[in-house]
Amino acid sequence: MAHASNPTASVGASVGDAPVPDPDDVGPDPRRTRQFALLLLFTVTGFAVQGMVPPSETQAVAVTALVGVSLMLAVRVSELPTWLFRAVVGLTVGALALSLAHVLTSDIGEATARVMNVALIAIAPPAVAIGVLRDIRSSGQVRLAAVMGVLALYMLIGMTFGFVYAVVDRLGDEPFFAEDDELTGSNALYFSFITLTTVGFGDLTARTDVGRTLSAFEALIGQVYLVTVVAALVGNLRRPARR
């Protein structure tokens, strides 16, 4: 008597012949990688324009525009709700309008334009942090997108403090620097990153208690960030996720 073929066994054999994908081996998402790459690119560009281009009205507007684009990309990679992204777009447009109004008229003071820049850039670091955490959680691994994200986050922190120092200088009764150097966007950025990286050349120092406290706080953030967050992520780049 002939035995009927077992369909289950046939299916099992066909499946056994093909390699079964590892559920932890999640391929990189090209879209998210591009988003993080663009975020890092615009952040570096904003840093370069503020640091190397001579101060001018055009440079100030360009910096505001680049900061706004970086913020929008930061919110995009974080996958926050659409309404929040639209609010960020509106905030960016408003900051750019104030920057242009300061250039074209005397009705908007420089302090107001600087405060708007602080409001713009201060939102970006927490948004990037959310995006990095979501990328690691979804992939189960530390991939290139996450590394680019933490590098952009580090630069955004330094740029945020640079804008804060500019606002403190503009609103305070005394110059920010003890050396009586004029605080420009370039030397505010230079002082901020020298502090964040804890290099401390000493050619520029904060004069007031507020400035010293802010710079000490930034140095602590920079030290902890480099030896924990960046080191941990780079050390675990593309390692398999734990089951």
Q: Is residue 34 part of a domain?
A: yes
DSSP secondary structure, 49-102, as one string: HHHHSPP-HHHHHHHHHHHHHHHHHHHHHHT--HHHHHHHHHHHHHHHHHHHHH
Residue 234, pLDDT > 80, answer: no
Torsion of CA 184, 187, 188, 190, to 10 degrees: 160
What are the pLDDT digits (tens) for 112-126?
A: 777 888 888 889 999
Q: Is residue 24 part of a domain?
A: no
Q: Is residue 22 part of a domain?
A: no
Q: Is residue 42 part of a domain?
A: yes
Q: Is residue 188 part of a domain?
A: yes
Q: Is residue 126 part of a domain?
A: yes
Cα 178 to chain centroid, rounded: 30
Q: Is residue 14 part of a domain?
A: no
CATH at 222: 1.10.287.70
C-alpha 46/C-alpha 168 separation (Å) is: 21
User: What mean pLDDT, rounded, does the chain reach?
Assistant: 82
pTM equals: 0.81
CA terminus-to-terminus distance, the chain? 49
Structural domain for 83, as ranges: 29-235
Selection from 161, 198, 199 nearest residue 183 by Cα: 161
What are the pLDDT digits (tens) for 184-212?
A: 888 999 999 999 998 878 888 998 899 99
Sign of the four-CA dihedral 211, 47, 31, 230: negative
Q: How many domains does the chain have?
A: 1
Q: Is residue 23 part of a domain?
A: no
